[in-house]
């Protein structure tokens, strides 16, 4: 296992009614002006906006609203938020939404404290924000685990790049699984697949060791598979929602990455696909993962065979290591179909080879993948996804 430093900065309040139980108290002691950030309006329809506004008023806060944060948030939206923070002397940001709202706010928080363009700071100067406006997150859609870390995936439309920036850590995250009840089932499923993807991206690293992080990851993967099956049968099953929301947080709180060299090649491909097509994150991943894995499994065949046994419960009896590895990838594909996720890019309206070539040519290639891909290989994989 590699040396590591693990520190956890986010206070997590989890469970039914946690907003009512904790939000006022968390805000009461400090801060005067709160930026209330949310997306395209779901929070107004499901009552979460009214509830939070009530808590903010009761805590005697001035509120500045920052609405309309879109899925796959843009860099222009980040700049709009940072301007609002500066102009209104906001001293706390409350992100209410899924990964998109939370990510946007992490960078708003950092940009508001810096006179330098943050994209330039990170991608040209390779410097990272050391200060930010404090923020908190009320999670209404789980899967990304965005509330648990300071990474933020932002689409720079001018540069045609969707990439991860580093920004603020939330001081606190409130996770009430009941707030996901209004989420369309398609988004619940794609969010849960994102969690599964985060586990796989760490599990299929290039190192061939099995350490505690891998075994915890296997448990999280089994948990997501089991509970997503339960929830697709019965969307009202609150235990399954509880488990999926916490699994999402576990996927991105750093524990699974301790001592690992992470891969995240599927994410890099999906993000760049998102830059060109604005596709749904979890759906894009569902298409890419099995195709990518058929290309790379021979470079870490033991791990893929283990995945088949430990995650999918496939018996090794009578199978070669290769057969076992492929059976695990087949089980993943079958699961994707079973829960109603797409298995081809055609199903999500992406067929243009020119776009796929542009995605492949601009895709980040990660050092952690068990096979270091070339742009040509990524293009082949994407064409196979169609």
Q: Where do contacts with Zn ion occur on this chain (CB under 5 A)?
A: 194
Concatenating the DSSP letter of every residue in 102-170 gives HHHHHHHHHHTT-SS-HHHHHHTS----S----EEEEESS-SS-GGGSSEEEEEETTTTEEEEEE-PPE
With CA atoms as reference, report the closest residue to 249 among 223, 278, 210. Answer: 223
Instruction: Map the footprint of ligand NZQ across residues 281-320, applying CB under 6 A.
Output: 281
Decide: is 342 part of the binding site for ligand NZQ (CB under 6 A): no
Residue 100 binding ligand NZQ, by CB under 6 A: yes
For residues 107 and 165, the answer to whether their CB atoms sit within 8 Å is: yes
DSSP secondary structure letter of residue 66: E
Question: At a CB cut-off of 8 Å and minimum separation 6, what does 67 contact?
Answer: 37, 38, 39, 41
Give CA angle at 333 (331, 258), nearest 5°.
Answer: 75
Residue 265 interface partner, choices ligand NZQ, Zn ion, none, CB cut-off 5-8 Å depending on type: none
User: Between 81 and 99, whose beta carbon lies closer to ligand NZQ?
Assistant: 99
Q: Please, which residue, 143 or 290, has the CB nearer to ligand NZQ? A: 143
- Of 78, 94, 97, 225, the one binding ligand NZQ (CB under 6 A) is 97
Residue 206 or 257: the one with the smaller Cβ distance to ligand NZQ is: 257
Which residue spans within the chain are E strands per DSSP?
11-14, 33-38, 62-66, 92-97, 135-139, 151-156, 161-166, 170-175
Which residue among 98, 129, 136, 177 contacts ligand NZQ (CB under 6 A)?
98
- Shortest Å distance, C-beta 167 to Zn ion: 17
**Of the residues 26, 37, 39, 107, which one makes contact with ligand NZQ according to CB under 6 A:** 39
**Structure token pair of residue 309:** 């046994």
Q: Which residue has the tokens 């492929």?
A: 326
Contact between 47 and ligand NZQ (CB under 6 A)?
no
Q: Of 127-135, 139-147, 229-237, 349-357, which part binds ligand NZQ (CB under 6 A)? A: 139-147
Measured at CB, which residue is nearest to Zn ion? Answer: 194
Residue 180 Cβ vs Zn ion, minimum distance, rounded to whole Å:
17
What is the C-alpha separation between 182 and 16, in angstroms, rounded?
Answer: 15
Q: Which of 163, 184, 185, 104 is nearest to 137 (CA)?
A: 104
Q: Which does 136 bind (CB under 5 to 8 A by kind): ligand NZQ, Zn ion, none?
A: none
Of Zn ion, ligand NZQ, none, which one sits near residue 98, judging by CB under 5 to 8 A according to partner kind? ligand NZQ
Nearer CB in complex with ligand NZQ: 77/306 = 77
Cα Rg, the chain, nearest whole Å: 21
Q: Contacting ligand NZQ (CB under 6 A), which of 30, 41, 334, 367?
A: 41
Nearest of 77, 65, 272, 80 to residue 160 by alpha carbon: 272
* Closest among 196, 233, 208 to 328, alpha carbons compared: 196
Cα-Cα-Cα-Cα dihedral sign, residues 225, 230, 235, 236: negative
Q: Which one, 141 or 326, has the nearer CB to ligand NZQ?
A: 141
With respect to ligand NZQ, which residue has the nearer C-beta, 39 or 129?
39
Burial 326-351 (b: 16+ CB within 10 A, else e): bbbbebbbebbeebebbbebeebebe
Site string for ligand NZQ, 173-212 (x = CB under 6 A): ------xx-xx---x---x--x------------------
* Nearest residue to 41 (alpha-carbon basis) of 16, 81, 69: 69
CA nearest neighbour of 365 among 260, 254, 266? 266
72 binds ligand NZQ (CB under 6 A): yes
Per partner kind, with CB cut-offs from 5 to 8 A, the member of Zn ion, ligand NZQ, none near residue 141 is ligand NZQ
| Residue 242: contacted member of Zn ion, ligand NZQ, none (CB under 5 to 8 Å, by partner type) | none
Site map for ligand NZQ, 153-172, x if CB under 6 A?
x-------------------
- Does 145 bind ligand NZQ (CB under 6 A)? Our answer is yes
232-261 positions binding ligand NZQ, by CB under 6 A = 252
Cβ 198 to ligand NZQ shortest distance, Å: 6
Interface ranges with ligand NZQ (CB under 6 A): 39-43, 46, 71-72, 97-101, 103, 140-141, 143-146, 149, 151-153, 179-180, 182-183, 187, 191, 194, 252, 267, 281
């Amino acid at each position: 296992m590699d040396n590591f430093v693990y520190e956890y900065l986010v206070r997590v309040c989890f469970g039914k009614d946690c907003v009512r139980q904790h939000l006022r108290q968390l805000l009461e002691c400090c801060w005067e002006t709160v930026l209330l950030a949310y997306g395209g309006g779901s929070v107004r329809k499901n009552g979460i906006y009214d509830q939070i506004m009530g808590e903010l008023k009761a805590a005697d806060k001035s509120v500045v609203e920052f609405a309309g944060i879109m899925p796959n948030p843009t860099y222009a939206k980040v700049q709009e938020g940072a301007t609002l923070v500066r102009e209104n002397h906001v001293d706390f940001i409350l992100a209410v939404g899924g990964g998109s709202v939370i990510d946007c706010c992490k960078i708003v928080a950092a940009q508001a404290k810096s006179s330098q363009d943050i994209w330039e700071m990170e991608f040209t100067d390779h410097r990272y924000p050391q200060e930010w406006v404090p923020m908190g997150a009320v999670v209404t859609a789980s899967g990304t685990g965005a509330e648990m870390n300071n990474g933020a995936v932002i689409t720079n439309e001018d540069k045609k790049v969707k990439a991860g920036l580093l920004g603020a850590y939330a001081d606190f995250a409130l996770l009430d699984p009941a707030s996901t009840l209004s989420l369309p089932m398609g988004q619940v499923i794609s969010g849960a697949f994102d969690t599964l993807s985060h586990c796989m991206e760490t599990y299929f690293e290039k190192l061939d060791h099995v350490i505690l992080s891998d075994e915890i990851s296997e448990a999280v993967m089994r948990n997501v598979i089991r509970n997503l099956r339960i929830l697709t049968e019965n969307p009202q099953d609150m235990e399954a929602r509880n488990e999926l929301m916490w699994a999402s947080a576990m996927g991105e709180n750093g524990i699974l990455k301790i001592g690992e060299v992470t891969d995240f090649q599927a994410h890099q491909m999906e993000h760049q696909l998102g830059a060109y097509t604005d596709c749904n994150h979890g759906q894009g991943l569902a298409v890419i993962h099995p195709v990518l894995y058929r290309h790379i499994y021979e470079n870490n065949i033991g791990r893929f065979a283990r995945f088949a046994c430990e995650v999918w419960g496939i018996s090794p009896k009578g199978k070669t290591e290769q057969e076992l590895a492929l059976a695990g990838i087949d089980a993943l594909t079958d699961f994707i179909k079973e829960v109603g996720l797409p298995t081809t890019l055609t199903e999500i309206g992406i067929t243009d080879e020119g776009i796929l070539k542009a995605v492949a040519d601009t895709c980040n290639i990660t050092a952690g993948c068990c096979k270091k891909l070339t742009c040509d290989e990524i293009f082949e994989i994407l064409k196979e996804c169609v």
